[in-house]
Amino acid sequence: MVLASVLVFCILILSAQVPARARRGSLLQAWILTATAPLALGIANVSRTMTGIADSVGDLFTTRSENQRLKNEIVKKDRELFELRARVASDALDQQLLVGAAALPKILTVAPVLLVESRAGLQSAVIGAGSAQQVVVGCPIAVPQGLVGRIVTVSRSIARAQLLIDASAAAGARIVRTGEMGIARGDGRGHLKLQNIATTSRVAPGDVIESAGIDGIYPRGVTIGTVSTVSRGSLFLEIGVTPAASFSQLTDVLVLSPSPAVTETAPGGKDARQ
């Protein structure tokens, strides 16, 4: 073992002194470089692989961050588009209501219907307009198709209306074709009846009924409905009326200016807006 060690040591010393073929360094250095070349190559490959993995992970996190940013922007744009479409639809509906209601007198404002209540013959609605929009008790409400009811209580931003189909609601009415006057009353179940029409009347199904303007609440000439049935009673005809307004599909209503009679009878003789 000693001899072998001495021989190896001598060989190493000699190889360190013998120049390599390319005259660059010694033979020992060439042997060392040849022996360690695969290891260096492996380390370099591993280093490149790790660098590639690190770059890929970095790109992945960057991509995820960018995707999240884009998703947030898309959600924001979708919300803005939804709000814009809702605003355009609301403006278009308001414009349609105003154009369709050109024949209605003195429109104060357009108001959304927030709630419709129907129970035990009571028919009412809560609308999104109040004293801030100059709405007062007694203001009639309508849609382009016809009369809806009247305001009975008011707060600053909302108001409650009694619908014309309420069991206790009534309005002066006129048969357009014959000119006869009567009273339109609600039946509490979604329909109307026309009272105080003599049995000698020539009223017939399909006749249009409009407000007569004699009750001090509703203006004259607003459509109430059409006659659906006519039968003979003891003193007067029993006349059923189909409302012109679709009370089951109320979404927006037109608030009309109150009748002068309503303003004059406000408490203390003051204007009803006070």
| Residue-wise burial string across 93-102, b where 16 or more C-beta atoms lie within 10 A, e elsewhere | eeeebeeebe
**What is the pLDDT, as a whole number, of residue 223?**
93
**What is the pLDDT, as a whole number, of residue 153?**
96
Question: Which portions of the chain are predicted below pLDDT 50?
Answer: 268-274
**What is the pLDDT, as a whole number, of residue 17?**
61
**What is the pLDDT, as a whole number, of residue 61?**
75
**What is the pLDDT, as a whole number, of residue 65?**
82
**What is the pLDDT, as a whole number, of residue 272?**
39
CA distances from 56 to 44, 51, 258, 270 (A): 18, 9, 74, 80
Closest CA to 213 of 261, 146, 271, 247: 261
**Hunting for tokens 């249009």 — which residue is that?**
208
Q: How many CA atoms lie within 13 A of 119 on its CB side?
A: 3
**What is the pLDDT, as a whole number, of residue 66?**
82
Closest CA to 196 of 210, 207, 181, 214: 181
What is 140-192 written as a DSSP string?
A: EEEETTEEEEEEEEE-SS-EEEEETTSTT-EEEEEETTT--EEEEEE-SSS-E
Distance CA 237, CA 194 (A): 8
pTM: 0.61
**What is the pLDDT, as a whole number, of residue 182?**
95
What ranges make up the beta strands (E) of 196-236? 208-211, 223-232
